[in-house]
Structure formats: C-alpha cells, structure tokens
Amino acid sequence: MGTILVDKPISREELKAAARPYYEAVVKAVVDIERGMAIGGELHADEEKFLLERDSEEQHLWGNNLFTELDLPDMVEFDSMINLRPSQNNRSRGVEDAATRERIMDIVRSLVS
C-alpha cells in the first residue's frame, strides 16, 4: 500500500490493509496534530518524511502505533523514536504532554471509523 495521508475518515478495513505488508495487527502512524496523519510506512521515520515533504512542521509530528484489532483508547500506543525531542521537553519515546496525547487521540478518533 505504501504511506498514505489520512485527512478524512477511513474504515477499520482500510486501516488493516495499511498494516500489510510489514505488520499483521499494528499500523505505524504519525499524527500531525495540526493536519491529520500518515499511515502505512514500515517505520515512523518513513511517515515523518512523507509529512515533512508535504509541509508539515516537525514539532507537530508524533509517532504512534495503531492496533487494528483493539478499540480506542487501547488502539493507540504512544511509542516511537521520532518522539524523542528534548527541545520540546519530551525525553522519551512516548508522548509526555497530556494535552498532546489527548489531541492525538481526538485525531485518531475522528479519522478511524
């Protein structure tokens, strides 16, 4: 499938299709907290690059994993190397700021039906 921009709602089946060929039940995703998200890459870095090439700003990009067989909030796992950002006071692979985590959840909730 390759990396795709998700800026309007997609079905659970489309989300599952994005997991292949790399993974079975998890989709790598990068959420742009200002514009939507990208899915379907092998690595979060692939989706980050995809979004940066489309004029996203790095400080708005957060990597996560979407487990296709789970419902929200369990579907979202905040874990990605691209989240290591000491300059934004994020010193882990997670998303330390509660407001940013909630914004990511809102975006995923609005885009995955």
Going from N- to C-terminal start, the domains of the chain cover 4-111
List C-alpha distances in Å: 55 to 40, 61, 111.
Answer: 19, 11, 20
Quote the CA–CA distance of 56 and 35 in Å, as a whole number: 8
Q: Is the peptide bond before 86 cis (omega within 30 degrees of 0)?
A: no
Percent of the chain, pLDDT > 90? 91
Within the chain, which residues score under 50 in pLDDT? none
Q: Are 49 and 30 in contact (CB under 8 A)?
A: no
pLDDT at 1: 66
The four Cα atoms 68, 83, 33, 52 give a dihedral, to 10 degrees, of -100
